[in-house]
Chains A and B, each alone.
Chain A
Amino acid sequence: MREIRSRKRAVRLAALAGVVAVLVAVAAGCGGGGGGNNNSTSTGSSVSGSIKFWGIWAATEQKAFQKVIDGFHQQYPNVTVTYSSKGNDIPTVLSTAIAGGNPPDMADVAQPGLVKQLVQQGKLKPINYAQSTIAANFSPAWEDLGKVNGKLYALLFKASNKSTLWYNVNVLKQAGVQPPKTWSQMVSDAKTIKASGTPAYSLCGANGWTLTDIFENLYLRRWGSAKYNQLSEHKIKWTDPSVTKSLQDMAQVLGDTGNIYGGTSGALQTDYPTCVDYAFATPPKAAFNFQGDFVSLEILQATKSKAQKDFNVVPFPAIKPGPNAKAVETGGDLIVTFRDSPAIEAFMKYLASPQAATIWAKLGGFGTGNKHVPASVYPDPITKTTEAPLAGATSVAFDMSDNQPASFGATTGQGEWGIFQKFLQHPTDISGIQQQLESAASKAYKSGK
Chain B
Amino acid sequence: MSGASITAEPPPKAAPPEPGGASTSRYVTGALFLVPAAVLLGVWLVYPTIYTIVRSFFGQSGYLGTWVGIDNYRALFTTSTLVTAIKNSAIWVAVVPAFVTAFGLLFAVLTERIRWAVAFKTVVFLPMAISAFATGVTWRIMYQQNPDQGAINALGRTVSDAVSSPGVLSNALPSTSALQSKGGGLLLKTPLHPGGVALLGLTGIAPEDVPQGARQAAKPSGKSGAIEGVVWKDFKPGGGKAGVVEQGEVGLPGVTVELHDSSGKVVQSTKTDADGGFAFTDVGAGTYNAGIGASTFAKPFGGYSWLGPDLITPALLIAYIWIWAGFAMVVIAAGLSAMPREVLEAARTDGASEWQVFRRVTVPLLAPVLSVVFITMIINVLKVFDIVIALAPESVRSNASVLALAMWTSAFEGGGNFGVGSAIAVFLFLLVIPVLALNIRRFRREA
Contacts and interface: CB of A to CB of B under 8 A. Distances in A.
Given A196-B235, A412-B413, A421 B395 contact: yes
B219 interface: no
Contacts of A174: 207, 237
B415 A208 contact: no
A195 B203 contact: yes
A177 B145 CA distance: 31
B307 interface: yes
B43 to A, nearest CB: 24
A442 to B, nearest CB: 14
B397 A412 contact: yes
Given A197-B204, A283-B208, A414 B238 contact: no
Interface residues of B, number: 38
A33 interface: no
Interface in A366-413: 405-407, 410-413
B237 A195 contact: no
Contact of A207 (B204, B208, B394): B394
Interface string A203-218: 0011110000000000
A412 B392 CA distance: 12
B175 interface: yes
Interface string A167-186: 00000011111000000000
B49 interface: no
Contacts of B171: 197
B403 to A, nearest CB: 16
A198 B204 CA distance: 7
Contact of A410 (B308, B395, B396, B414): B414
Nearest to A192: B239
B81 interface: yes
Interface in A388-446: 405-407, 410-415, 417-418, 421, 424-425, 444
Contacts of B396: 268, 413
B206 A195 contact: no
Nearest to A417: B394
Contact of A195 (B145, B204, B397, B398): B204
A176 B60 CA distance: 56
Contact of B409 (A173, A207, A414, A421): A414
Contacts of B409: 411-414
A425 B236 CA distance: 32
Interface string B66-89: 000000000000000100000000
A265 interface: yes
A175 B236 CA distance: 7
Interface in B130-178: 144-146, 171, 173, 175
Interface in B179-209: 203-209
Given A265-B308, A266-B146, A411-B413, A206 B395 contact: yes
B393 A447 contact: no
A406 B235 CA distance: 48
Interface residues of A, number: 39
A234 interface: no
Interface string B197-225: 00000011111110000000000000000
Contacts of B393: 206, 268-269, 271
B362 interface: no
B272 interface: no
B111 interface: no
Given A269-B308, A418-B398, A421-B395, A262 B81 contact: no
B305 interface: yes
B145 A176 contact: no
Contacts of B56: none
A197 B205 contact: yes
A235 to B, nearest CB: 21
Contacts of A176: 236-239
Contacts of B173: 194-195
A411 B308 contact: no
Interface string B409-425: 10001111100000000
A172 to B, nearest CB: 9
Given A195-B235, A197-B207, A265-B308, A413 B395 contact: yes
A173 B207 CA distance: 12
B415 A444 contact: yes
16 contacts: A176-B237, A194-B173, A194-B203, A195-B173, A195-B203, A196-B206, A208-B395, A271-B394, A407-B414, A411-B409, A411-B414, A412-B394, A412-B413, A413-B395, A414-B409, A447-B60
Closest 10 CB pairs of A and B: A411-B414, A407-B415, A176-B237, A176-B238, A197-B206, A195-B203, A413-B397, A206-B393, A413-B398, A268-B395
Interface of A: 173-177, 192, 194-198, 205-208, 262, 265-266, 268-269, 271, 283, 405-407, 410-415, 417-418, 421, 424-425, 444, 447-448
